[in-house]
Amino acid sequence: MPLSNAQMRDVESVLHPYTNLVKFRETGPLIIERGSGVRVYDEQGKDYIEAMSGLWSTALGWGEPQLAEVAAEQMRKLSFAHLFSGKSHEPGIALAEKLKEIAPFPVGKVFFANSGSEANDTQVKLFWYVNNARGRPQKKKIISRMKAYHGVTMVAASLTGLPANHKSWDLPFEFVKFAACPHYYRAGEPGESEEQFTQRMAAELQALIEAEEPETIAAMIAEPVQGAGGVILPPKGYFQAIGRVLSKYDIPLIDDEVITGFGRTGNWFGCETYKFQPASMTLAKALSSSYLPISAVLLSPELCETIEAESGKIGTFGHGFTYTGHPVCAAVGLKTIELYQQRDIVGHVRKMAPHFQKRLADLGEHPLVGEVSGIGLIGAIELVANKQTKASFDPAKFVAPTVFNFAQEEGVITRATMGDRIAFCPPLVITEAEIDELFDRFARALDRGLDWVKREALLQ
């Protein structure tokens, strides 16, 4: 099918993230024209259930009038102001106060950025700054995990444990050290219980710390649920086990809640779901329901005290972005949180989660599906060539991307991630009927995928 005029213009003008740019010249983009609730519509008017909330992020769905209204009102009142050189504005102050109020751990101050990548980049800079201030200049290494996703700036991409973020970019930087991905389905040894696997992960982390020397490690960063790595849930007791190891060596934990924050797992924050307390936290995406770009770094009072004291010695706190705490973005972020509270979005997630997880679990009966994992309103399936042996498909066959394309044709937008995993992360406002429609459409795509796999003789 020939490309439309808009598709051809796009192919010649726009550099697309996370896209095979050679193949893209043949397929062109799916051009979305409008959105309403959990659905988006293309230029032909076809509707799609957006089962990924855009990029794990449009928690309130599309077309929320109150967010549009508060943005327009703020833009008319104060379209731009910055936080440099001691200046401030009411939306930034109010949003910082609200985040401190709802945070699940003691927070001293909030630093605003524009994306999760910038926020995680800032996390590393701040821990370096603090350790220099405390006379520990050698304490600079950051522990991340394989299959983690923490962003795409040079530092954030180094923290990310995915091959595509490193190949041909001369990354990761050497100060980033990787612990194992705690994926029990793939990494558990024969006969090893989930609890035993957790203890092995903790022991391996301890061995890594000791090999690198504890006094050189500034922090560990972790997502409560590893999102872009394939919606990998931590095994039982994982965060408690690694928490004991980190505490033993005085290594703080940075909690990356870019995907899990604001109700996704059935609690306000993923660290509440998995019962651990971080030293700092990264927020983005659902902070504004992705209506405008904004992110936040939440810091413990102890970290803030050191940062403030060091800035006094130097004469300034030499970090910040032009759009740090942009008043329009901050106003939308504040209204977003207010809507979560007014509408009891966390309660709605808890009400919808059992049905969502049941429909997701039902996919586990399909011949193509190996693992099913999920919590709250997030989940994934892993496609396998043999359910009994867990044999994976040849990556060169692009099985998950092919099923993803079938799903899109059936009117549901998902996401194919590493290892032939397909993720689901719908807007938090989704209803039970919409959950059924989502999985009914996807089931048809999965059946088409099975027919294709059989024709290609890919099953083992």
Question: Residue 240: helix, strand or coil by DSSP?
Answer: helix
Nearest to 234 by CA among 311, 160, 148: 148
User: What mean pLDDT, rounded, does the chain reach?
Assistant: 97
Determine the Cα–Cα distance for residues 301 and 298; give it in Å rounded to an integer. Answer: 10
Give the Cβ contact number of residue 301 at 10 Å.
11
- What pLDDT does residue 188 have? 98
In angstroms, what CA-CA distances link 243 with 159, 208, 265, 374?
19, 14, 20, 23
The two structure tokens encoding residue 18: 């996370």
| pLDDT one-digit tens code per residue, 128-177 | 999 999 999 999 999 999 999 999 999 999 999 999 999 999 999 999 99
Sign of the Cα torsion 47, 49, 53, 56 reads negative
**1 has a pLDDT exceeding 90:** no
The two structure tokens encoding residue 282: 């990264």
Q: How confident is the model at residue 2 (pLDDT cuts 50, 70, 90)?
A: confident
| pLDDT one-digit tens code per residue, 235-287 | 999 999 999 999 999 999 999 999 999 999 999 999 999 999 999 999 999 99
Q: What is the spatial order of strands in the sheet that 253-256 belongs to? A: 109-113, 295-299, 280-283, 253-256, 217-222, 141-145, 176-179
The residue type found at 374 is G
Determine the Cα–Cα distance for residues 270 and 367; give it in Å rounded to an integer. Answer: 32
Bond preceding residue 172 cis, omega within 30 of 0: yes
- What pLDDT does residue 24 have? 94
- What pLDDT does residue 113 have? 98
Give the Cβ contact number of residue 293 at 10 Å.
17
Pairing of strands 109-113, 295-299: antiparallel
The two structure tokens encoding residue 435: 């959950």
**339 has a pLDDT exceeding 80:** yes
Cross-strand pairs, 62:
37
DSSP 8-state class, residue 105: S
Give the Cβ contact number of residue 134 at 10 Å.
12
Determine the Cα–Cα distance for residues 298 and 105; give it in Å rounded to an integer. Answer: 9
Determine the Cα–Cα distance for residues 194 and 63; give it in Å rounded to an integer. Answer: 43
Q: Is 444 left (phi over 0), alpha (psi -120 to 50) or beta?
A: alpha
- What pLDDT does residue 343 have? 98
| Residue 424 backbone dihedrals phi, psi, to 5 degrees | -135, 130
- What pLDDT does residue 243 have? 98
| pLDDT one-digit tens code per residue, 55-112 | 999 999 999 999 999 999 999 999 999 999 999 999 999 999 999 999 999 999 999 9
Mean pLDDT, residues 295-311 taken together:
98
Determine the Cα–Cα distance for residues 177 and 324; give it in Å rounded to an integer. Answer: 29
% of the chain surpassing 90 pLDDT: 99
Mean pLDDT, residues 112-136 taken together:
98
- What pLDDT does residue 330 have? 98
Mean pLDDT, residues 429-450 taken together:
98
DSSP 8-state class, residue 46: -
The two structure tokens encoding residue 361: 């679990």
The two structure tokens encoding residue 55: 């990029």
- What pLDDT does residue 70 have? 98
CB 133 within 8 A of CB 306: yes
% of the chain surpassing 70 pLDDT: 100
**418 has a pLDDT exceeding 90:** no
The pTM score is 0.97
| pLDDT one-digit tens code per residue, 190-227 | 999 999 999 999 999 999 999 999 999 999 999 999 99
Mean pLDDT, residues 358-375 taken together:
98
Determine the Cα–Cα distance for residues 293 and 115; give it in Å rounded to an integer. Answer: 6
The two structure tokens encoding residue 443: 């089931």
- Domains, the chain, with CATH or none: 31-63+344-455 (3.90.1150.10), 66-342 (3.40.640.10)
